[in-house]
Amino acid sequence: MDLAFVLDFLRRLAANNNTAWMQAHRADYLRARDTFAELVTQVLRQATPIAPELAGLTPAQVLFRLHKNDRSQTDPEPYKRRLGAGLVPGGRHALRAGYFLALMPGGGSWLRAGRFTPTPPELAAIRQEIHYDSAGFHRLLEDALLRSHFPTGLDMSGEQLTRPPRGYAATDPDLPWLKLKSYGVGRLFSDAEVLAPDFIERVVAGIQAARPWVEFLNTALLTA
């Protein structure tokens, strides 16, 4: 599996992010996409014994499009600079927490686990679960195995409320977490790590470490 070719293609795409270049290099794109699909297939195969809810997922269900769907008028680039997949029960767009794998050169490859940009009802359900089971929430995020794979813990850098969410007091000890609008952990991989022989094993180990956290979120989302 030639992941070096995938990183090289994405490097070249970043330097030539336009439709004419992509049309001229479509064969390279298809080769890179198929290689990434093979990577995802192997990750799913190895992860299913420890995360059986991922059983039956196919690359067609989990791979994200390379073409941007949300490009603004100020964004001249029609393509993402990464190849990504959402390993989520029901497929990449399912309203569930799951695992997200992406390859992007220059140390931008990642594994993320959680529910990102949830809907308002989902946010309400997650906040309620945190409020009801604060001890469990913090225990999961401080778990030694989780932190060994995701050392920065819960991502607090994204968009969040400026005031307490409705129904929660300004003195709530969990207010910093209740104000978040996404709930996930993540880690980056260097290019050398992506190309190392144990890359798939490291991704699968990260999925295993994050599974209790993902299950916590999905328990909450059952009420959304």
pLDDT in tens, 61-105: 999 999 887 655 567 889 999 999 999 999 999 999 999 999 999
Mean pLDDT, all residues of the chain: 94
Report the 10 Å Cβ neighbour count for 15. Answer: 8
Angle between helices 199-221 and 134-141 (to 10 degrees): 170
Q: Please, which pLDDT band fits residue 198 given cuts at 50, 70 and 90?
A: very high
Task: Report pTM.
Answer: 0.93
Q: How many distinct structural domains can be found in the chain? A: 1
CA torsion sign for 190, 196, 201, 205 is negative
Q: Which residues contact 43 (CB under 8 A, 6 or more apart)?
A: 87, 101, 200, 203, 204, 207
Owning domain of residue 157:
3-221
Structure tokens at 42: 């192997």
